Amino acid sequence: MKKSDPIAAAIGRVLSGAKEGRRSLRSLSEALSISDQDVCEGLETLSEQGFDIRKTPEGIELHSPPEYDLAPSYVASLLPEDVFGDAIIHTYDTLPSTQDTAKELGRNGNRLVVVFAEEQTKGKGRRGRRWLSCRGCGLFFSVLFKPPLPACKLQLVNLAAALAVKDAVSALYSVELSVKWPNDLLYKGGKVCGILSEASIGARDILDCRTGIGINIVPPDPVADEGAVLFNANHIGEAANAPVHRGRLAAEILARYFRLLDQAASDGGQTLLYSYRASCSTLGRDVSVITDEGTVTGKAVGIGEDGELLLETEGGEMAFNAVDVVHATPS
């Protein structure tokens, strides 16, 4: 496991934004209000995590970021400092589930943690399902944080995450995904991204939340991945207009996710709901809603103020949370 160091990430951020990628030792320590010794240690951490940093008579130069796209201090340096300055990014080779590791790290007192894994051996999906997470096939990560929302607005966390993924994939790779309520992302009708939010709730507040995001980038190799097949799935790799850099994609998603939630905290979710309704391909469709008690069919006519799905059924309008939806026609 490798983890980010906030000072190294801050230096990475400054060097990436520096004119000609170069700063003097003194200007780095002044810009970050830290000692020269701290700067030197931070530079060492960056070098260990694959940054090509050279000391020249003109200053400290950043030649290139790490080749490894989930190098933790690199991902940290891509995140906005005002929100993620204290975040610790952990990158593991293999884990049962990034959700569980994020939870453990949270128990140890960390309030903002991001956990990546190259592969998951027990990837968790919604409603107790498994999430196939083969090495080399996708982006698998969880973020543990305290959403700035009251407990009654928990569903908005799911909607914000879906919008953040949709907008990030569009901005970075020009791939337009559709959102199936509440937070499945589809490409040409096949699922490319699943999102699972698990939260601890207090009397009024959300105490903490672990949002796990899995994005299919390339299909599993049926030979190397021992017959792994994803049904009704798709992947974004071929459609993307550039090679997918998982660290940049995750940073873009996280930055957008937290911005959407902050906005929801200040306007009661109005802007988020407006954008979500405009992006949600479930609205207006005939759908089946699969609940623990059975299946209900009807027409999806709205998304309520707390993010619930409103269904027009033979027996009148019904509202649903935390259920699965199947579109009657392909998205």
Residues 6 or more apart from 195 whose CB is under 8 A from it? 158, 161, 162, 165, 183, 184, 185, 211, 212, 213, 214
Nearer to ligand BTN, 28 or 87 (CB): 87
Min dist. Cβ of residue 162 to ligand BTN (A):
10
Three-state secondary structure call for residue 112 = coil
Side chain identity, residue 320? F
Query: Residues 53 to 92: which contact ligand BTN by CB under 6 A?
Result: none
Strand-pairing partners, residue 75, are: none
Answer for which of 143, 196, 251, 311 binds ligand BTN (CB under 6 A) is 196
Q: Is 212 in the site for ligand BTN (CB under 6 A)?
A: yes
Nearer to ligand BTN, 18 or 233 (CB): 233
Contact 328, 286 (CB under 8 A): yes
Bridge partners for 133 per DSSP: 120
Phi-psi group of 243: left, alpha or beta (phi > 0 → left; psi -120 to 50 → alpha; rest → beta): beta
Exactly one of 59, 106, 123, 147 binds ligand BTN (CB under 6 A); which one? 123
Q: Which of 124, 245, 248, 256 binds ligand BTN (CB under 6 A)?
A: 124
Cβ 158 to ligand BTN shortest distance, Å: 10
Asked whether position 214 contacts ligand BTN by CB under 6 A, the answer is yes
Separation CA 6–CA 59 (nearest Å): 22
Label each residue of 260-276 as H, E or C: HHHHHHHHCCHHHHHHH
What is the rounded CA–CA span in Å between residue 73 and residue 116? Answer: 12
126 binds ligand BTN (CB under 6 A): yes
Does residue 129 interact with ligand BTN by CB under 6 A? yes
How far apart are alpha carbons 235 and 190 in whole angstroms? 8
Residue 142 in the binding site for ligand BTN (CB under 6 A): yes
50 in contact with ligand BTN (CB under 6 A): no
98 binds ligand BTN (CB under 6 A): yes
Of 120, 155, 178, 282, the residue at the interface with ligand BTN (CB under 6 A) is: 120
Size of the site for ligand BTN (CB under 6 A): 21
| Residue with smaller CB distance to ligand BTN, 75 or 196 | 196
Cis preceding linkage at 147, omega within 30: no
Classify residue 300 by its DSSP letter: E
The contact set with ligand BTN (CB under 6 A) reads: 97-99, 120, 123-126, 129, 131, 133, 140-142, 184, 194-196, 212-214
